[in-house]
Amino acid sequence: MTVYTLPELPYAYDALEPYIDEQTMRLHHDKHHLGYVNGANTALDKLAKAREAGDFAAVKAVSRDLAFHVAGHINHVIFWENMGPNGGGTPSGDLAQQINKDFGSFDKFKGHFSAASAQAEGSGWGILGWCPQAEQLLVFQAENHQNFSPRGVRPLLLLDVWEHAYYLRYQNRRAEYIESWWNVVNWENVAQRFADATTIKGYETR
Ligand code: MN
């Protein structure tokens, strides 16, 4: 079953140099991300077979696999699009205004997001999301790909802080990687995601 597929990177593997190196991008996209795509499809296969056989003994473990791999896949799709070769700087327009409203200033947001990313324990993510119920931006962390992420919050900007995302160039210097990463953020993509997310109102059922 091929429900999930690996999209091409929206730019060349070396497009984010010198901040993120080509070898890291090749391994990260072609091997790690592909692994999550395959893992998600495998989990769906196992669940289909379990329904067919009427044997749900493994449903707990496979459900965990499904959550891990689907979240890993979706996180990476957004992460690739969140970056670009002409990135960096600061956001503008409605997104900039919302960041100022919810975090005080761009610099305060940047400090908060960087700290959340730096302090994610083990493998995880820093995430900026839009909460339709509160009508405000939230910064949070994920451990692995899926844990500790509040329900219903639309991710706008993700930063992968698994070691595979930075170890070849930055080794254990995660904070240096995070500081470099701000130079490749594609704010136009984040602003588009924000515009889409804010069309969801309150507790609408979608
Ligand atoms: Mn990754």
Q: How far is the CA of 3 from the centre of ligand 1 (A)?
A: 20
Q: Indicate the pLDDT class of residue 206, thresholds 50, 70 and 90.
A: low
Mean pLDDT, the chain, whole residue set:
96
| CA distance linking residue 121 with residue 156, whole number of Å | 21
Q: Could you give the residue ranges of the DSSP H alpha helices within the chain?
A: 22-26, 34-53, 59-81, 93-103, 106-118, 167-170, 174-181, 187-197
Q: How far is the CA of 10 from the centre of ligand 1 (A)?
A: 16
pLDDT at site 203: 77
Strands 136-143 and 124-131, bridge-based pairing: antiparallel
Q: Give the global pTM.
A: 0.96
Give yes or no for residue 205 having a pLDDT over 90: no
Q: Compute the average pLDDT of residues 2-25.
A: 97
Give yes or no for residue 19 having a pLDDT over 80: yes
Provide the CATH number for the domain around residue 122: 3.55.40.20
Sheet order of strands, 136-143 included: 136-143, 124-131, 154-160
Q: For helices 59-81 and 34-53, what crossing angle results, to 10°?
A: 150
For residue 9, being part of any structural domain is answered with no
Q: How far is the CA of 13 from the centre of ligand 1 (A)?
A: 15
Q: How far is the CA of 34 from the centre of ligand 1 (A)?
A: 10
Do 106 and 182 sit in the same domain of this protein? yes
Q: From 133, 105, 111, select the one nearest 179 (Cα to Cα).
A: 111
pLDDT at site 21: 98
Q: How far is the CA of 79 from the centre of ligand 1 (A)?
A: 9
pLDDT digits (tens, 9 = 90+) for 122-175: 999 999 999 999 999 999 999 999 998 888 899 999 999 999 999 999 999 999
Amino acid at 136: Q
| CA distance linking residue 108 with residue 100, whole number of Å | 9
pLDDT digits (tens, 9 = 90+) for 72-97: 999 999 999 999 999 999 999 999 99
Above pLDDT 90, what percent of the chain?
A: 93
The overall longest dimension of the chain from CA atoms, in Å, is 56
Q: How far is the CA of 165 from the centre of ligand 1 (A)?
A: 6
For residue 205, being part of any structural domain is answered with no
Amino acid at 174: R
Do 74 and 135 sit in the same domain of this protein? no
Contact between 183 and 19 (Cβ < 8 Å): yes
Nearest-Å Rg of the Cα atoms of the chain is 18
Q: How far is the CA of 205 from the centre of ligand 1 (A)?
A: 30
Do 72 and 103 sit in the same domain of this protein? no
For residue 167, being part of any structural domain is answered with yes
Provide the CATH number for the domain around residue 40: 1.10.287.990
For residue 203, being part of any structural domain is answered with no
| CA distance linking residue 171 with residue 173, whole number of Å | 6
Number of domains within the chain: 2
For residue 63, being part of any structural domain is answered with yes
CA distances from 43 to 2, 50, 76 (A): 11, 10, 18
Paired tokens of 94: 């409605």
Q: How far is the CA of 33 from the centre of ligand 1 (A)?
A: 7
113: domain range?
93-197
pLDDT digits (tens, 9 = 90+) for 190-200: 999 999 999 98
pLDDT digits (tens, 9 = 90+) for 21-77: 999 999 999 999 999 999 999 999 999 999 999 999 999 999 999 999 999 999 999
